[in-house]
Structure 1
Amino acid sequence: MVDITPTPADLKINPRNLRFHQDGGMPDRWWLNGDPVATAFFNALSCTFPKGEKFFMDSVRHYRGAVGPELQQQIAAFIAQEAVHSREHVTFNKLASDHGYPVDILEARTGHVLRAVRQRSPVRQLAATCALEHFTAILAHQFLKSGASDLAGAPKETVKLWSWHAMEEIEHKSVTFDTFLSVTKHMSRPDATRCGYWQ
């Protein structure tokens, strides 16, 4: 039996319409201490976000009318947060592209993968979203736990962007899983679990 810790009753998800890198903020191609590998890691991760966040929003939005009022509000806040994340990473990616990073290639690869996933049933798309949001929350937790040390030496605006994004990922991490539990409650747990598999 899987032990599922309930979402805190006082969970509040607060969309924040913040903007970063309005005046540039990435003066060098290798903006993370001149390190091309470290810079490429964050650039590549950011390249997955605009299309990835859109996929997450769509997979949860599909079930918004099938859950209770409280979860509906959380889904609306989740979508609002993810929309702003996407917008800000479009800005970040444009700066990386201006410095010669192959953003278009990585965004195209992300799109190719997501087009395949979108051929699956809505509940399987939601299961995939649960898994990806879980991994994202793990990365976000470790990033913040370290005091954003992975970005030590990066431009201040870049540190602010990634810290804000990480904080909001932790804030809304339960929404997709709670939605999955709600829409699969008529299934046996083994059947619901199998939604996460592609075979």
Structure 2
Amino acid sequence: MSNKASPRPEPAAQEHVPLKARNVAFDWAGTPLHWVPGDPSTTHTINVLHLLLPAGERWFVHVYKQALPLIRDARLREDVLGFIGQEAMHSQAHDGVLPHLRAQGLDPEPYTAQVDWFFEKLLGDRTLPPGRARQWWLRERIALIAAIEHYTAFLGDWVLNAEALDAKGADPVMLDLLRWHGAEEVEHRSVAYELFLHVDGGYRRRARTWALAFGALVFMWQRGMRFFMENDPTLRDGKASAKDFWRGGREGVLPEPAAMLRSIPQYLSPSYHPSHYGSTAQAAAYLARSPAAVAAEAGSPGGA
């Protein structure tokens, strides 16, 4: 299969919006450890985001700052700068949950240390000679980010529509964090892929880095679920199980595994473009009413 760029896929019409970072803040004082009432498994499955995202999104920002000199399109450069600002804010917001977890007796550091190693060492800068080798590693990481962003946009679209979490009485501040973040993932869902097309766009690289990203996400997520369940101070012999994950998908409090599997051929399709999945209008509507985003717009950050 050729690694040459395939014909450029067409984005959905009227999907482009200017991107801006929203300086949000959240008050966790009233958020319980099991913020989905009576469902520690669902709570901790989603809590893995707080362990993965801070380091991952710092890595996104680091790589994209290196990519800026490669961008020859003014609008794409503006979008990448907006993406960098939003991802930096996402990292800070999820980092802010970690002291709350520690205060409730669940220290995430043993797991976050592994995540930091993964992004900073395994996927970090390498001592490579200037020229082709260094450019290859930068393009490889740009492609990895495009694949990861396919799944962050998938999760963002899911959580914006996860009414079962509201019905189950999930903590409103945590839901606002997840939906504010999810809405921005939907809002900027095309940027990482557009940057990949701009600097490379090769199909073999797209498929290879998708496989690496998907495998790493599944591996790290299940390790994070096991870590939370085994270290939750309120659980006796807590264990993560595939049965609970499938149950959460059926109930709508977690993404359906079948929907996650359907997302694979979407990304691998030659005609794939992120703008065809998710709704920018829905994302904008949530950002217009998000308590944290509204407070940030008013200049007085605060949680729901």
TM-score by length of 2: 0.57
Q: Does the CA-based 8 Å contact 1:141-1:170 persist in structure 2?
A: yes
For 2:36, the equivalent position in structure 1 comes to 32
Deviations 1:31-65 (A, max 9, x none): 22032212211222211111011111122221112
For 2:159, the equivalent position in structure 1 comes to 143
Q: Distance in 2 between matches of 1:7 and 1:42?
A: 30
Q: Distance in 2 between matches of 1:43 and 1:105?
A: 15
SS, match of residue 26 in structure 2: coil
For 2:26, the equivalent position in structure 1 comes to 20
For 1:46, the equivalent position in structure 2 comes to 50
For 1:78, the equivalent position in structure 2 comes to 83
Q: Distance in 1 between matches of 2:145 and 2:102?
A: 27
For 2:299, the equivalent position in structure 1 comes to none
Q: Does the CA-based 8 Å contact 1:7-1:174 persist in structure 2?
A: no
Deviations 1:141-162 (A, max 9, x none): 1121233x33641221111111
Deviation at 1:14, TM superposition (A): 2.9
Matched, 1:59 2:74: no
Deviation at 1:5, TM superposition (A): 3.3
Q: Does the CA-based 8 Å contact 1:15-1:81 persist in structure 2?
A: yes
Q: How many residues in Structure 1 have an aligned counterpart in Structure 2?
A: 192
What amino acid does structure 2 have at the position aligned with 1:154? A
For 1:117, the equivalent position in structure 2 comes to 123
- Contiguous gaps of at least 5 residues in structure 2: 1-5, 127-136, 213-304
- Contiguous gaps of at least 5 residues in structure 1: none
Matched, 1:103 2:116: no
TM-score by length of 1: 0.85
Q: Distance in 1 between matches of 2:207 and 2:34?
A: 43
Q: Does the CA-based 8 Å contact 1:60-1:179 persist in structure 2?
A: no
RMSD across aligned positions (CA): 2.3
Q: Does the CA-based 8 Å contact 1:29-1:100 persist in structure 2?
A: no
Deviation at 1:108, TM superposition (A): 1.2
Q: Distance in 2 between matches of 1:7 and 1:146?
A: 24
For 2:95, the equivalent position in structure 1 comes to 90
For 1:171, the equivalent position in structure 2 comes to 187
SS, match of residue 11 in structure 1: coil
Q: Does the CA-based 8 Å contact 2:21-2:86 persist in structure 1?
A: yes
CA gap 1:58/1:39 in 2 versus in 1, 3 angstroms: same
Identity of aligned residues (%): 26
CA gap 1:143/1:37 in 2 versus in 1, 3 angstroms: same
Work out which of the residue numbers 206, 231, 236 in structure 2 matches 1:193: 206
Q: Does the CA-based 8 Å contact 1:130-1:176 persist in structure 2?
A: yes
